[in-house]
């Protein structure tokens, strides 16, 4: 586990350094999260232009803006997945969510939007884990409430447009058992408490539910956990799109996989969607002033952006015209980086805002427009999601013909 950012190592970094774990993301006081440093600490690889080009070529479609803009910026063994795909081999996508709140915020959409793009581009199956057990274990939530939130969150995920013929959404309380449980035990037998202490900072005073959980998050990395969905003959490789704070879980999974006789899952990892107050961390669903919710109406979005979105612009119109804005700390610019599709317009806005031709109020109006459109589209899509649709996505039954291959795609 030499690549693990241990708790001891985090402590040794000192006060001016960042902390990134699955439960805490804190940038430095000097600025945002230092992603270059994180890549080095975690030991993952950067996604460079050549890799984006390769994805573009293989999928015969433009790369998602999350790739063009370096939002999904790091990976582990992504080339192996692309090699496999090029050779006609099979892979699937695995992502997930901890259902801790009823309302998702904009940042929660990022992995799902990107996973849907990958599903469409590669024509591959997706498994989506709702870790209601994790939220029960870590939060002051009943099991019933965790399960209810999982189902509500499933509706938001379905609204992202996943192909029901290629997608299995499951909650742990619903699905753990059988071959999935067998893989959990295969993982658990090969991980010590000391490893969890080093990876996640667990202590002997913590309840053992915490020790029980990492194998639950590891299990979907192995196709054999889903015999009904994949069948027992197909053992496709796994690619995990996630935010980089989930990396510790999958470093652990990758360490264990060969000992279980399975290939290591590959990863494609994103930066965090910043809070309204700036890039000191992720948006938090538990702090309503830190986030734009998917349920927010345009009026609310307007208020939040105007009132809370940290600006890199000057304090008066005159100063802004004279000195221009600091784009590096401006939250609106960061939000446009995530959600404004048009590259030319985005470059134009950055240029104009930086030199002072654009004022903070104008920029904020544009951001309100972009985010409102996304929120409204999501609200409309979610309103179409019926309980029957949730049941269909959450059914473990087989999905015939869910695998595309590179050659299929080239033919089509």
Cβ distance to its own copies smaller for residue 189 or 351 = 189
Can you tell me the distance from the alpha carbon of 129 to that of 168, in angstroms, rounded to the nearest whole number?
A: 9
Regarding 348 and contact with its own copies (CB under 8 A), the answer is no
Pair type for strands 266-270 and 237-243 = parallel
Q: Which is nearer to its own copies, 11 or 185 (CB)?
A: 185
Tokens of 183: 């893989």
Whole-number Å distance between alpha carbons of 133 and 142: 10
Whichever of 68 and 197 has its CB closer to its own copies, that residue is: 197
Residues 242-301 that bind its own copies (CB under 8 A): none
Could you say whether residue 189 binds its own copies (CB under 8 A)? yes
In angstroms, the Cα distances linking 111 to 74, 157, 160, 242, 347 are 14, 10, 10, 6, 24
Residue 52 burial (CB count, 10 A): 16
Q: Is 202 near its own copies (CB under 8 A)? A: yes
- Phi then psi for 294, rounded to 5 degrees? -70, -20
Q: Which stretch binds its own copies (CB under 8 A): 10-18, 190-198, 243-251, 329-337?
A: 190-198
Closest to its own copies by CB, 202 vs 338, is 202
Our finding on whether 396 is near its own copies (CB under 8 A) is no
Among 8, 9, 164, 208, binds its own copies (CB under 8 A): 208
Q: Which of 60, 79, 87, 192 binds its own copies (CB under 8 A)?
A: 192
Name which of 15 and 205 has its Cβ closer to its own copies. 205
Could you tell me the smallest distance in angstroms from the CB atom of residue 177 to its own copies?
A: 2
> Considering the rule CB under 8 A, would residue 207 count as an interface residue with its own copies?
yes
Q: Nearest-CA neighbor of 370 among 398, 343, 341?
A: 341
The reply on whether position 95 binds its own copies by CB under 8 A is no
Residue 388 as a binder of its own copies (CB under 8 A): the answer is: no
Closest approach, Cβ 195 to its own copies, in A, equals: 8
CA 310, CA 305: separation in Å to the nearest integer? Answer: 8
Closest approach of Cβ 242 to its own copies, in Å? 22
Is there binding between residue 79 and its own copies (CB under 8 A)? no
User: Site residues for its own copies, window 123-182 (CB under 8 A)?
Assistant: 133, 136-137, 143, 172-178, 181-182
φ, ψ for residue 237 (rounded to 5)? Answer: -70, 165
Q: Which residues pair with 282 in a beta bridge?
A: 274
Contact residue for its own copies among 15, 49, 50, 205 (CB under 8 A): 205
- Taking CB under 8 A as the rule, does residue 196 contact its own copies? yes
- The helix/strand/coil state of 24 is strand
Nearest of 324, 322, 354 to residue 336 by alpha carbon: 354
Q: What values do phi and psi take at 21, rounded to 5?
A: -135, 170
Q: How far is the CB of 186 from its own copies (least distance, A)?
A: 7
Would you say how long the chain is, in residues?
Answer: 412
Nearer to its own copies, 216 or 367 (CB): 216
Distance, C-alpha 317 to centroid of its chain: 37
Q: 97 phi and psi, to 5 degrees?
A: -155, 140
What burial class does residue 134 get, using C-beta atoms within 10 Å of its C-beta: 0-12 exposed, 13-18 middle, 19+ buried? buried
State the nearest-atom distance from the C-beta of 157 to its own copies, in Å: 22
Q: Which residue ranges make up the site for its own copies (CB under 8 A)? A: 133, 136-137, 143, 172-178, 181-182, 184-186, 188-194, 196-197, 202-209, 211-212, 214-215
């Amino acid at each position: 586990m030499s690549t693990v950012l241990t708790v001891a190592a985090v402590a040794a970094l000192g006060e001016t350094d960042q902390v990134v774990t699955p439960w805490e993301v804190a940038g430095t006081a000097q600025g945002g999260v230092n992603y270059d440093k994180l890549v080095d600490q975690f030991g993952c690889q950067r996604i460079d232009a050549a890799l984006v080009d390769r994805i573009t070529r293989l999928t015969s479609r433009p790369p998602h803006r999350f790739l063009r803009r370096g939002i999904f910026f790091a990976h582990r063994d992504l080339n192996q997945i692309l090699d496999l795909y090029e050779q006609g081999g099979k892979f699937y996508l695995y992502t997930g969510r901890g259902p801790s709140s009823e309302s998702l915020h904009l940042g929660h959409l990022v992995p799902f939007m990107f996973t849907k793009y990958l599903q469409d581009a590669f024509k591959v199956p997706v498994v989506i884990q709702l870790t209601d057990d994790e939220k029960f274990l870590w939060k002051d939530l009943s099991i019933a409430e965790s399960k209810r939130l999982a189902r509500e969150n499933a509706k938001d995920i379905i609204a992202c447009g996943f192909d029901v013929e290629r997608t299995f959404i499951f909650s742990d309380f619903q699905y753990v058992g059988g071959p999935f449980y067998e893989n959990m035990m295969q993982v658990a037998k090969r991980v010590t408490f000391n490893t969890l202490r080093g990876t996640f900072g667990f202590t002997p005073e913590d309840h053992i539910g915490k020790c029980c959980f990492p194998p639950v998050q590891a299990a979907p990395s192995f196709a054999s956990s889903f015999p009904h969905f994949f069948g027992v003959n197909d053992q496709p490789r796994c690619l995990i799109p996630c935010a980089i704070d989930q990396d510790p879980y999958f470093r652990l999974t990758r360490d264990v996989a060969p000992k279980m006789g399975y290939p290591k899952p590959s990863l494609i990892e994103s930066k965090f969607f910043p809070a309204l107050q700036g890039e000191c961390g992720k948006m938090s669903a538990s702090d309503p002033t830190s986030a734009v919710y998917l349920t927010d109406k345009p009026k609310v979005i307007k208020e939040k952006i105007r009132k809370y979105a940290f600006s890199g612009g000057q304090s008066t119109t005159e100063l802004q015209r004279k000195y221009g804005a600091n784009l590096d700390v401006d939250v609106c610019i960061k939000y446009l980086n995530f959600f404004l599709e048009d590259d030319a317009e985005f470059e134009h806005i950055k240029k104009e805002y930086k030199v002072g031709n654009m004022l903070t109020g104008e920029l904020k109006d544009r951001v309100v427009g972009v985010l409102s459109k996304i929120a409204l589209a999501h609200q409309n899509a979610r309103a179409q999601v019926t309980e029957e649709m949730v049941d269909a996505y959450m059914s473990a039954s087989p999905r015939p013909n869910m695998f595309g291959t590179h050659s299929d795609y080239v033919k089509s």
